[in-house]
Amino acid sequence: MKVEVKIDGFATGAKGTTPEDFTEGVGEGSDLVPPSLYEDQVAKRIGQP
């Protein structure tokens, strides 16, 4: 399995917070596998594939 992490940059706009927050994967939600970690874990707990 290949995992690629892309960091697009730092979020801006907040004043007086340190360290500065960063974002990653912005706009890439449709490519997530599984699309929902919550639904994936629920399915595993109740025995669905």
Instruction: Answer whether residue 34 is part of any domain.
Output: yes
Instruction: Answer whether residue 25 is part of any domain.
Output: yes
Give me the residue label for tokens 């399995």: 1
Instruction: Answer whether residue 1 is part of any domain.
Output: no
pTM above 0.75, yes or no: no
Give the per-residue pLDDT at 42.
Answer: 92
Digit-coded pLDDT (tens) for 1-49: 787 776 655 555 666 767 767 778 888 888 888 888 999 999 999 987 6
Indicate the number of domains in the chain. 1
DSSP characters over 1-47: ------EEEE-----S-SSPPEEESTT-GGG-SSS-HHHHHHHHHTT
